[in-house]
Amino acid sequence: MNISIETSLEKARKFNRLRSAPSDCELENTKKELLALMQKKNAQIVCHYYVDAAIQDFAISSGGVVADSLEMARFGKESNAEVLIVAGVRFMGETAKILSPDKKVIMPNLAANCSLDLGCEIESFKRFCSNHPNRTVVVYANTSAEVKAFSDWVVTSSCAVPIINYLKENHQEIIFAPDMHLGDYLKKTTGADILNWDGHCVVHDEFKAFELKELKSRMPEAEVVIHPESPAPVIELADFVGSTSQMINFVASSNKKKFIIGTDNGLIHMMKKKAPDKQFFEAPTAGNGATCKSCAHCPWMEMNDLRDILAVLRDGQNEILVPKEISYSARKSIEKMLAFNQLKNVPKNRKTF
């Protein structure tokens, strides 16, 4: 896909500005019609924690799943549904199709991209890797099917640390792409020899360490919970670092009552469900050098809407297709990750440096 991050980002912003929120009546009618159609077509919703709360709640109530990238991949593969509706961003739909080639995979909006995916164009990445032919190529789940097919390993933020540790123990030097902040975190946490691609998430890259430190000083009783796609100075202030699912489990099990959350604010909806007696505060994105490209919410994730889910399921549109040769190679890398996680007890991430 040859499209710039800024172009795609502006299209997402414009789409979200022009889209009006549904009335309560419209929302309830949409849910009712969608549930009946899903039952008729044997469809399930697989959605990410960052999408709209109404989609998350409907996914759970209709027998689908709300999860991080790793669990989305597992659920879709094991589902008995004939149609998977992926509410998230494009690489998530591609991953679902790769692991479930015989299922129909559709998405509410094919323009829902990801800055990490768009920032790691396959031909540029191949040239980068060709300059370091002896390194093992490890790519984050937030990449295109083509990049996954080219890689040796695929990881998610919930399993990246143990996989990188495994490669280090086997004396492998690594190329990691596309998120430079996650790559830095993995390098510091594991001590592995990692050469990073220069990419970042438009949401996590905006968190500000100085303002976070000030907020933390005003709320000393709060624990700081940060996603590893954030810049190193932000991670250094964290009490806990982990994937979205690990962050949820941490706040639910902690004896503290207040938390500062450094990830997309869509995650707070599930945190409130899992820990209704606790308070959650967004880590600051404002401050010196702030651009507010996201303001702690992914504009591409925001493009997902229950009304569009109903429309594409009804009309059979927005199907995700992946060429067989690319799907075959990408599947090998993804299934290697899934097999590794079945054999290993993937530990909860934490700050280790």
pLDDT tens string 254-301? 999 999 999 999 999 999 999 999 999 999 997 555 555 447 999 999
Looking at the fold, whether 82 and 159 belong to one and the same domain comes out as no
Please check whether residues 230 and 82 belong to one and the same domain: no
d(CA 124, CA 14): 29
Is 293 part of a structural domain of the chain?
Answer: no
**Comparison of pLDDT for 290 and 245, the residue scoring more:** 245
Q: What is the pLDDT of residues 7-35, one digit of tens each?
A: 999 999 999 999 999 999 999 999 999 99
Are 185 and 334 in a shared domain?
Answer: yes
User: What confidence score (pLDDT) does residue 145 get?
Assistant: 98
**9 and 68 belong to one structural domain:** yes
- Whether 352 has a pLDDT exceeding 60, the answer reads no
Q: Are residues 336 and 196 in the same domain?
A: yes
336 and 323 co-located in one domain: no
| pLDDT tens digit sequence for 104-135 | 999 999 999 999 999 999 999 999 999 999 99
323 vs 73 pLDDT, higher one: 323
Together in a domain, 53 and 68: yes
Please, which residues bridge with residue 45 across strands?
85
Q: Is residue 36 part of a domain?
A: yes
Task: Please tell me the predicted confidence (pLDDT) of residue 347.
Answer: 44
In a domain, 352, yes or no: no
- Give the phi and the psi of residue 302 in degrees, each rounded to 5: -65, -20
Q: Are residues 194 and 230 in the same domain?
A: no
Same domain, 9 and 106: yes
Same domain for 320 and 334, yes or no, is no
Confidence band, pLDDT 50/70/90 cuts, at residue 348: very low
Residues of the chain with pLDDT > 90, as a percent, come to 91
Would residue 350 count as lying in a domain?
no
Place of tokens 């990449």: 143
- Integer Cα distance of 267 and 256 in angstroms: 18
For residue 291, the model assigns a pLDDT of 52
Regarding whether 190 and 338 lie in a shared domain, the answer is: yes
| Residue 290, in any domain of the structure | no
The count of domains in the chain is 3
Residues 306 and 334 in one domain: no
Q: Provide the residue range defining the domain that includes 33.
A: 5-115+299-328
312 neighbors 33 (Cβ within 8 angstroms): no
Domain CATH number, residue 128: 3.40.50.10800
